[in-house]
Structures are given as structure tokens and as C-alpha cells.
Amino acid sequence: MNAHKQGRCTLVGAGPGDPELLTLKAVRAIASATVLLVDDLVNEAVLAHASPAARTVHVGKRGGCKSTPQAFIDKMMIQAVQDGEQVVRLKGGDPFIFGRGGEEVEHLRQAGIDVEVVNGITSGLAGMSSLGAPLTHREHAHGVVFVTGHAKPGDSGTDWAQLATTACQAKLTLVIYMGVSSLDHISQGLLQGLPAQTPVAVVQHASLPKQREALTTLGELVNTVQRDQLQSPSIIVVGDVVQGARAWNTHLSRPEPRSLQA
């Protein structure tokens, strides 16, 4: 350990994938890093902003895949900072929206390390923007709920029926992350509080050239995802704002939901 100089740690949101959606502050932080701990969903093109002398460590964190244990990542961050390194923990989307950023900040602070957080554009926002639709609208949505479809082990998870009832009554858009693997359970719950004709958008690989998306309704959601073979990572947006998508009228004119090309 460097006895004279302690390093620092910055949690940086790398955004949804498109490297042009990085903030200027994120670019500066990446460029100044001597050590980068990089999540799986971070686009490799983002690392072009890193110093050639920086040490890059890929610490996979992805639903349904083998992941680097969180305790190991926490230990690596703390040790690197204590060794005097300028550490950037690079995370897909935003560190504080289902990125476990809150947990990492707590561990760093407990170790006596001050940490800065640089926000990134979350995929729920980027995915809808790519369709030309908003998440809120004065007539259709008075607010938006970001919710995970992946419950912590031992946790019963979200009460989808109750959430759907609240969303219907309060005119809220639902943005569901990590929901594809539990889609049947989620859709069954949502149908207890929302009409089957509620518009839904599914966006896979938001903002990337390989983005795929489909417009459908809540009643046809499971069939659409299976038919079009949409997979993780995907964002599922439920609510009337989906009608603002550029291709929504085209969707209505067809007898079955169809995939839309980016």
C-alpha cells in the first residue's frame, strides 16, 4: 500500500451502449483512470477513452450468466484505492438504477473511501427515445416507475397485480428491467390491474446498431416476445405513452404484432 497517497474511486455510468451517449464528465473520468473495473454490458467502444496505460479488468455482471461475485469486486475496488490508484467502476446505464451502485458506495464508505458517482443514460429512457416515444406525457402518463423483474434470492419480488392497479389509477408508465426470463409471471400479474389492450414496447440492446424492438399489447406480450425471439438484455415499457412510437399506427394496421427494425 502507498502510505503517502490514497487513490480515489468513481462510479461511472457508461450509458445504454451507444458511446456517443456518454457524458463529458464520464469521458474525463474514464480518461483519468489508472484502473477500470468494467461490467459486461459496457460497450467496448467506450474504452477508447481510457488511457493506454490503464489496467482494465472485466468483472462480468449480467442476469442469467456467470458473474463475478460482488464481494470480490468490492474488495478489488478498495484495495486498488488503498494502493493509490485512480479507480473507475464502469457500469452499463446508470450506476444508481439497478446497477448495484448503492451497495458499492456503502462498502467504499465503510472502508473510509469517499466516492464520486457520474450518472449515465439508463436503457429504459434510451430505448423509448429510439422509438420516438416519451416516458411521460401530460395526457397519458403523470409519472414513470422503474422496476426490476429479477427478484433478489429469497425475496418474493414485486406484487405485479398491485403495481398494475396503481399504474392504472395514477396513469403511470412502467419500465421493467431484467424481466424477460419471468415474463409470463409478470404479464399475468399486470393483467390483473391493466387492460389487455394496454400498449407495450420491448426493446433489446437499446441504442446499439443491433437493437431489435417490437410493439404489442399487454395481452399479446408473451406471444410477441416468443415469436420474435427477443431476449435479454431487453427493456419492457408498459403504458399509453407507447402509442407515441413512430411505428405505432403501422402496428395497429396489422393483424399481429410485428418486429420493428431500428
- pLDDT digit string (tens) for 59-112? 975 555 567 888 999 999 999 999 999 999 999 999 999 989 999 999 999 999
**178: annotated active-site residue:** yes
Decide if 174 contacts 145 (C-beta within 8 A).
yes
Pairing verdict, β 8-13 and 115-118: parallel
Give the number of other CB atoms < 10 A from CB of residue 211: 20
Rounded-to-integer distance, Cα 212 and Cα 229, Å: 10
**Section 155-162 average pLDDT:** 91
Q: Which of 18, 94, 178, 228 is catalytic?
A: 178
Contact, 85 vs 37, CB < 8 A? no
DSSP state of 256: S
Q: Going by C-beta distance under 8 Å and a sequence separation of 6 or more, which residues neighbour residue 143?
A: 136, 170, 171, 172, 173
State the average pLDDT for the chain.
91
Confirm whether 5 is a catalytic residue.
no
Distance between CA atoms of residues 12 and 30, nearest Å: 8
Position of cell 459496457? 42
Specify whether 39 is catalytic. yes
Catalytic annotation, pick one of 18, 61, 77, 91: 61
